[in-house]
């Protein structure tokens, strides 16, 4: 999870990712940032994020993003 937080902080350092639970709804992550984030996740964690998984519920918090990564890793 620490690696994910580091990636998020590189994209937008002004957010408390450990506690924020409205990254998308609060507009801390916009569509371009999410695309960059997906690319970083795929490169760093060896997963492919299907288009159907790119929904606000999966990206609203670092915990939700981490849960998505773990789930995708288990499926492969």
Distance CA 2, CA 55 (A): 22
Closest CA to 46 of 12, 73, 13: 73
Count up the domains in the chain and report the number.
Answer: 1
Domain that holds residue 48: 2-75
pLDDT surpasses 90 at 76 = no
Burial of 37 (0-12, 13-18, 19+ CB in 10 A): buried
**pLDDT tens, position by position, 8-57:** 999 999 999 999 999 999 999 999 999 999 999 999 999 999 999 999 99
**Residue 29 structure tokens:** 């992550």
**pTM of the predicted model, to two decimals?**
0.94
- Position 73 scores a pLDDT of 97
Per-residue pLDDT tens for 56-69?
Answer: 999 999 999 999 99
CATH number at residue 29: 1.10.1200.10
> How many other CB atoms are found less than 10 A from the CB of residue 26?
11
């Amino acid at each position: 999870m620490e690696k994910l937080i580091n990636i998020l902080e590189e994209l937008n350092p002004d957010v408390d990712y450990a506690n924020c639970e409205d990254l998308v709804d609060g507009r801390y992550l916009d569509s371009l940032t999410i695309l960059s984030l997906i690319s970083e996740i795929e490169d760093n964690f060896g997963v492919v994020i299907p288009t159907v998984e790119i929904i606000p519920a999966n990206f609203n918090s670092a915990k939700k993003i981490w849960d998505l990564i773990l789930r995708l890793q288990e499926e492969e």
